[in-house]
Structure 1
């Protein structure tokens, strides 16, 4: 599903940052765009920055259901800084998976914005996740039988006769220990 990403430019809070940029909304079914101005009021401007596909994968159904169980289901928009001063961010992707969003947030190169998911997208994601979700059966792992006879096989060197230091490497005759 194509999602248009709306990015808001507002005045910066400090003298070092002239502008503050934030992804604030998504538009399901939007057409292609490249930083089209949607609205301007005072010093705040909203741009349709880009349209990116929202792709759902059957292997991520658990993540989608986890995201939908949140109080306010969200779309996560991943943005990366660009060199262009007029359009300082490149919209990398939009995802409904909180797990994938966490992976991008952890890498340090990307900015991840959490945006409220529109009702139509909630229904689409929910229907997909319910159709493709397969609960994984839990299988408890059994431990290997432990050797409890007291023999420490593989510890130390059998050529060393001293019991006080079984980890010391053997030396040649005449060499200091």
Structure 2
């Protein structure tokens, strides 16, 4: 499903950041866009920054279920610093999987924003997840019955010939 990403630009509160950019909304079924201005209120400006495909995968249904069980189901928008001022950010990804978005949080270069899902999109993701989810049965691993502690090959220091203390360090030989 094509998903438009709305990004808001507001003045920064520190001298190090002139502007603060945040993803604030998504537009399901949006047409193509490239930083089209949607609304301006004083110095705050909202842009339809990009339209990306929201792809759902059958193997990710557990992640979608976790997202839908959250108090506010969300779309995670991943953005990177753009090459110039005309495109300050590149919108890289929009996903419904919190697990996938977590991977982008690890590198420190990407901005990951959590945007609330519209109700129609929540229903679409829920239908897909319920239709494709397969519960995996938990299988507890059992310990092998093989006794590995009976053989003491390679135990201790081979340079010590005495049987009394195999863990003792060798004495320094003075010549």
- Cα shift at 1:153: 3.1
SS in 1 for 2:121: helix
Change (3 A) 1:32 1:106: same
Q: What residue is the counterpart of 1:53 in the other structure?
A: 53
> Which consecutive residues of structure 1, in runs of 5 or more, have no partner in the other structure?
170-175
Change (3 A) 1:147 1:158: farther
Return 46-55 or 145-154, whichever deviates more. Answer: 145-154
- Cα shift at 1:106: 1.6
Q: Distance in 2 between matches of 1:125 and 1:167?
A: 64
For 1:56-71, what aligned pairs fall within 5 Å after superposition?
56-71=56-71
Q: What residue is the counterpart of 1:40 in the other structure?
A: 40
Change (3 A) 1:102 1:149: closer
Q: CA RMSD in A?
A: 2.2
> Which consecutive residues of structure 2, in runs of 5 or more, have no partner in the other structure?
none
Count residues with an aligned counterpart.
172
List 4+ stretches of structure 1 deviating above 3 A.
148-151, 156-160, 165-169
CA deviations over 1:7-32 (Å, ceiling 9, x no partner): 00111112222111111000000011
SS in 2 for 1:122: helix
- Cα shift at 1:52: 0.4
Q: What residue is the counterpart of 1:161 in the other structure?
A: 161
Change (3 A) 1:30 1:153: same
TM-score (norm 2): 0.89
Return 88-97 or 10-19, whichever deviates more. Answer: 10-19
